[in-house]
Structure 1
Amino acid sequence: MTYLRSKRLLGTALAAATALAAALALGPLTPAEAAAPRPRETARHTSANGPWADRPHGFASLAGSTTGGAGGQVVTVRTQADLAKYAAADAPYVIRVAAAIEVAPFGSDIVVASDKTIVGVGTSGEIVHGELHLNPGTHNVIIRNLTIRDSYVEGDRDGKTQDFDAIQMDSVHHVWIDHNRFTHMGDGLLDVRKASEYLTVSYNRFDTHNKAFGIGWTEDVKTRITIDHNWFHGTKQRNPSADNCAYAHLYNNYLSGQVDDGDPVWTYGNWARGRTKMVIENSYYDGVQHPYQADETAELVQRGSVLKNTTGRHDTRGTAFDPHDFYPYRADPAAAVPALVKKAAGPQRSLGIRTVLHVPADYPTVQAAVDAVPDGNDGAVTLALAPGTYREQVRVPAGKPYLTFLGTGDDRGDTVIVYDTPNEYGGSSGSATVLLAAHDTTARHLTFVNDFDEAAHDLDSEQALAVKTTGDRIVFEDTAFKGNQDTLMTDSPKLDTVSRVYVHDAYIEGDVDFLYGRATTVVEDSVIKALSRGSDSNNGYITAPSTWRGNPYGFLITDSRIVSDAPAGTFHLGRPWHPGGEPDAVGQVLIRDTVLPAAIKASPWTDMGGFSWRDARFGEYHNRGPGAAVTADRPQLSTADAARHEVADYLRGTDGWAPHRR
């Protein structure tokens, strides 16, 4: 962007620098910011133990926790070859299974190495005729939202000749098995073997099978396992059986539709075998023979469960242990378990659709998390940023769409991405703290800053962008943009390409052309602060559009407030930017239904680079406040024209995109 620079008066340089430092302070919000409305963002407050949480609970959360492939690349697989390659790799991976993968030869193992997350995408992820196998020493594995089915060989009900489990693990630690469906397999559905420990098995559905879920096959008493909110339906035994478990905590499980083949012994619910210590809480047993039983060498405590039409053994003995001594949890009422588990157990359409990458818990920087997303990404990825200040530049290339940057603090000012590069060292793209070139990118609950101190430097190009966008369908919600010259640039890849940006519930500050570019951009329900540069005549320009002549929609600022610390009559609403003298860049700005401060000039539009503002497409409609007026120098839209310049008119296209305030 080419400028005739407006230098600060030397006598006001110190005061301006002080004002700039205050404006860019990363502490509490200003009154203007605090007054801006907040979106109804609830995802960041979801309980960590809820049915759709992305972190494990129970024993899998202890002793270093279980993070799976966190920190590694995110890949999407649809073939056995790709699943096998990434699952067995040495490096961490988040593996999204987006198809029903038929494993050949029938009953074959797919080996899962350490540091892996394998997650089905919605209800599409299936492993058919095959087993996921964790070899001894494997650790830090998450398997979620898959259906694993149909390796049963007719006539081999006990699995004595074909050991085709759904998942089998030997001598492993830190594994989370969650929201899967296991059905009609060759031997066990889930086998946890040989002193495996720090395990959580939650919200799974086990059905249509003989031996559902076995734990043990070892003399060691080491296994620590949490088993909660699972549905065992149409199974006969091992629901589960737990042999020599140091601690087995079962709560809120639902056992129903037990297979009835007249077997008086090997048809049962839960069995504490060997030297197991088992605690059962608030589970629901409906029509179950031997709902819970314990060997004489085991300890079993049961409390709060519902027993409906049960027969046979209901053993309790000893004191076992108190799960609260190990981790926090809250058991749901037993009476609510059938409805809850029927809804929440097994694969969910909402899971695996959005991958969550945590910064800095899993990725040390924001850019590292972006880099983990593959080129050609086709799945929604959320980068969950912990509260803090991230001093780095972030680049999202065009090949990485569908990213959401989400601050997880209580306030948007709690999570800040900041850098200090001016245009002098790389142009608008080089200076931007954050550059978003990909389509369908969203940012929520964050603050973006370029804190370059222009008062302390004498450069030819003092632009210092907080954010630049070139992608289409970009959303900023409950965000703040702080800078001076060129704070927020919303652009497109080339002049005649239309990109759309929706900014809602935002705080934007700057002095010179701090909302500019050629993208179709809506700023709604926001606070825009025009910063004083210490002048008593010209303190700057809010907008500098370079809209393509063929695009009727450039910038819309609506239902917002412009505030300023500049003296009365010293700020322009905008000027037309023709990059490189491009005659087809004919800027369009409409400011409507917005409060204007006294700092706005009586003639608020001005020329730029030899191009008259009167040849641009500038207008106002129904503004109010001390800076609002209707004069010959302030074109006003007619009511009929205003009806064609609503938010939807600016943003909608043939793709049906229609973001709106929440």
Structure 2
Amino acid sequence: MSSKFFIGIAAALCLFAAKPALAQSYDVVVAQDGSGKYTSVQAAINAAPSNGTKPYRIFIKHGVYNEKLTIPQDKTFLEFVGENVANTILTYGDGKGGTSATIINADDVFFKDLTLVNSQGAIADGPQSQAVRTTRDRAVFFNCRFISGQDTMYLVRGKTRAYFLACYIDGNTDYIYGDAIGLFDNCVIYARDRLDGSTGGYITAASTKPDQPYGLVFRNCLLPDNHGITNYTLGRPWQNDKNTRDNELRRAHNKTVFLNTKMGSSIKPEGWSAWNDGTDTTIITYAEYNSRKFNGAPVDVSRRRSWTQQLTAEQAAPYFKDENILGDWNPFKTWADLPAKSTAAGQQAISNLLARDNGGNMLLQFNTSWPASDASFVLYKSDDKKTFKKADQLKAGKNDVIAFQFKDKAPADGQHSYYVISATQGKQTFSSDTLDVSGGKLFPMKKGR
């Protein structure tokens, strides 16, 4: 089964009513249709000035840019602005895994309104397939999507800092990990179901350095329910296991904290995991403050691991001060296009459309990037990938659900059916990628099935 990002059904759908004004001041425009200076994002990076001290703004028009991106160390103060997060997509994958789609080797880089994908996550649960890897200091992301399977986001090098505001991040294994400081405000952290139907996974894998007071910090984030196939713990301690040699590879003092989190039943009651029986839990800081269900009721934390913490308001207070976590760096002063936290909001989009075997029929499962209260979804189907006809529709309730599904008869072995979903939520209109379903090649509902 294969899928590729699709923009439009016959006539192109306008994904959002409001678009960035091209009259804004950009230093360079990238466009696949040739209307910009470059057709490649990497070409724009290569041509950007070196050792910049003020933002150099690169506007990227709608399109799927299939290229492995590397921002060299001397390309500082680059700002990447997508025309729209739902369909301005930076993607790479070789079908084997072990790749990094976007590598940031420069200080002071800002991504806005963009989707970063490692396409390996659409065909398999692993191996390691990073959508983004940061190796330097002061990376900022606003209204971005990060999509892959295993190891989606790797934040490298202790004491370097990365800030995320109103972003969507998904994966299935250790998909936010590393030894850097990562601060996440108002983000959706979506623990998606594993493609092979396995029932367990891990969200984070911090490997915080011993002399570093903060690791991964999540404030006011959402952890919505998936389709119910795979349940997750909030994290496990990378580089703190029986194979870690304290005299060669310094054992990590893993630090991950979730504050004011809304989480669903996809999170296991125990909350957290050790790596193995060699994990030193005495040096781990795994903590929560005010974890709530989506209906506002407190999460039952009575079965959380004994070596994890439930913080008091006094203990949690330092985590709400940016200067404690980020030090003397204020990303809001550096980047004029980074909105205030109080007004920042992510834009809606559809992700992870796939077909699962359901005993001769199939389930077409997908999720939105943000809660889809009152959204309407229409499923279109085609046998030739040219003419699409309405096949079904559904209406979301007034709730915080983001995982949805349609049912349809599976195509016969060797036959193909093509699907696309269009959706509206308030004034926003958005569509899915086109899904090519081949009979006999559906993902399982359970592992081994």
User: Normalising by the residue count of structure 1, what TM-score does the alignment of the two structures yield?
Assistant: 0.44
Structure 1 position 638 matched with structure 2 position 309: no
Question: Are 2:30 and 1:355 aligned?
Answer: no
- Paired amino acid for 2:128: Q
Cα deviation, residue 629, structure 1: 2.3
Instruction: Select which of 122, 131, 139 maps to 1:466.
Output: 131
Q: Give runs of aligned pairs for residues 136-175 of structure 1, distance below 5 A.
A: none
2:438 aligns with none
Other-structure match for 1:272: none
Whichever of the two has the greater Rg, that structure is 1
Q: Which has the higher helix share?
A: 1
Q: Confirm whether residue 418 of structure 1 aligns to residue 91 of structure 2.
A: yes
Alpha-carbon deviation of 1:630? 2.2
2:326 to 647, 652, 655: 652
Question: Structure 1 557/600 Cα, relative in aligned 2: closer, same or farther at 3 Å?
Answer: same
Whether 2:44 is the aligned partner of 1:45: answer no
Residues 187-206 of structure 1: matches in 2 within 5 Å? none
Please give the secondary structure, in 2, of the residue aligned with 1:462.
coil
CA distance in 2, matches of 1:527, 1:27: 24
Residues 420-446 of structure 1, C-alpha deviations (whole Å, 9 max, x = no match): 147855xxxxx1111111111000001
One-letter amino acid of the counterpart of residue 637, structure 1:
L
- Aligned counterpart, 1:617: 285
- Aligned pairs (5 A) from 1:211-226: none
CA contact (8 A) 1:575 1:613 kept: no
C-alpha contact (below 8 Å) 1:434/1:467 kept by paired residues: yes
Q: Quick check: 1:574 aligned with 2:235?
A: yes
1:501, 1:522 within 8 Å by CA — same for their partners in 2? yes
Provide the C-alpha distance between the structure 2 equivalents of 1:512 and 1:437, rounded to a whole number of angstroms. Answer: 24
Percent identity for Structure 1 against Structure 2: 27
**Aligned-partner Cα distance in 2 for 1:590–1:423:** 33
Q: 1:17-69 CA deviation, whole Å, 9 max, x = no partner?
A: x7xx68x85669xxxxxxxxx9xx98x326x3xxxx55xxxxxxxxxxxxxxx
CA distance in 2 between counterparts of 1:27 and 1:629 reads 42
- Other-structure match for 2:435: none
Structure 2 runs not aligned, ≥5 long: 9-15, 334-339, 345-449
Q: Aligned partners of 2:222 and 2:47: how far apart in 1? A: 39
**Corresponding residue for 1:487?**
152
What secondary structure is seen at the aligned counterpart in 1 of 2:46? helix
Q: Please give the alpha-carbon distance, in whole angstroms, between the structure 2 residues aligned to 1:650 and 1:371.
A: 35
Q: Report the Cα offset of residue 564 of structure 1.
A: 3.2
Letter in 2 for 1:645: Y
| Aligned residue in 2 for 1:514 | 175
Report the counterpart of residue 628 of structure 1 in structure 2. 299
Matched, 1:554 2:219: no
Task: Find runs of 4+ consecutive structure 1 residues off by over 4 angstroms.
Answer: 24-28, 422-425, 453-457, 534-537, 655-660
SS in 2 for 1:620: strand
Task: State the alpha-carbon separation in 1 of the partners of residues 61 and 122 from structure 2.
Answer: 30
Q: What is the distance in 1 between the residues matched to 2:329 and 2:275?
A: 35
Cα distance between partner residues in 2 of 1:595 and 1:501: 22
> Which of 203, 206, 231 is 1:545 aligned to?
206
Against the structure 1 CA distance between its residues 614 and 483, is the aligned structure 2 distance closer, same or farther, given a 3 Å change threshold? farther
Evaluate the alpha carbon distance shift between residue 549 and residue 439 of structure 1 in structure 2; reply closer, same or farther with a 3 A threshold.
Answer: same
Supply the distance in 1 between the matched residues of 2:97 and 2:195 (Cα, whole angstroms): 23
Q: Which residue pairs with 2:271 in the alignment?
A: 604
Q: Which residue of 1 aligns with 2:143?
A: 478
Contact preservation (8 Å) 1:651, 1:657: no
Instruction: Give the letter aligned to residue 178 of structure 2.
Output: G
Cα deviation code 1:449-504 (max 9, x no counterpart): 111157569xxx70101111112111100110110001111222xx4xx1111111
Q: Judge conservation of contact 1:421–1:450 (CA < 8 Å) in 2.
A: no
CA RMSD after TM alignment? 3.0
Structure 2 counterpart of 1:389, from 64, 68, 71: 64
Unaligned runs of 5+ residues in structure 1 are 1-17, 29-37, 55-353, 426-430
Q: Aligned to 2:314, what secondary structure does the other structure show?
A: helix
Q: Deviations over 1:331-378 (max 9, x none)?
A: xxxxxxxxxxxxxxxxxxxxxxx7334445101200000000243233
Q: Decide whether the 8 Å contact of 1:27 with 1:413 is kept in 2.
A: no
What's the offset of the Cα at 1:655?
4.6
* Contact kept? 1:445, 1:477, Cα under 8 Å: yes
Matched, 1:586 2:253: yes
Offset of 1:398 from its aligned partner?
1.4
Are residues 624 and 447 of structure 1, via their aligned partners in 2, closer, same or farther at CA, if it must alter by over 3 Å? same
**Are 2:269 and 2:301, in contact at CA under 8 Å, matched by a contact in 1?**
no
Matched residue of 1:370: which SS? helix
**Helix, strand or coil: the match of 1:654?**
coil
Aligned twin of 1:437 = 105
State the Cα distance separating 1:637 from its structure 2 match.
1.1
Contact 1:569 1:598 in 2 (8 A): no
1:371 is matched with which residue? 46
Q: Given the alignment of the two structures, is residue 563 of structure 1 paired with residue 237 of structure 2, yes or no?
A: no
Provide closer, same or farther for how the CA distance between residues 422 and 650 of structure 1 changes in structure 2, counting only shifts above 3 A: farther
| Residue pairs, 1:197-346, within 5 angstroms | none
- Secondary structure of 1:413's counterpart equals coil
Q: 1 CA distance for matches of 2:7 and 2:202?
A: 26
Greater RCO, CA 8 A, separation 6+: 2
Paired position in structure 2 for 1:503: 164
In the superposition, relative to structure 1, how do residues 456 and 573 fare at CA in structure 2: closer, same or farther (>3 Å)?
closer
Rounded Cα–Cα distance in structure 2 between residues aligned with 1:508 and 1:588: 19
Indicate how the Cα distance of structure 1 residues 552 and 423 shifts in structure 2: closer, same or farther if over 3 A, else same.
farther
Question: SS at 2:116's partner residue?
Answer: strand
Contact 1:568/1:598 (CA < 8 Å) preserved in 2? no
Deviation at 1:657, TM superposition (A): 4.9
Distance change (3 Å), C-alpha of 1:467 and 1:453:
closer
Aligned length: 312
Q: Is the 8 A contact 2:192 2:230 kept in 1?
A: no
Amino acid at match of 1:373: A
Change (3 A) 1:393 1:607: same
- 1:616 and 1:412 mapped to 2: Cα distance? 36
Residue of structure 2 in register with 1:77 after alignment: none
Residue 53 of structure 2 aligns to which amino acid in structure 1? D
Residue 77 of structure 2 is aligned to residue 402 of structure 1: yes
* Gap change, CA 1:387 and 1:424, over 3 Å in 2: closer
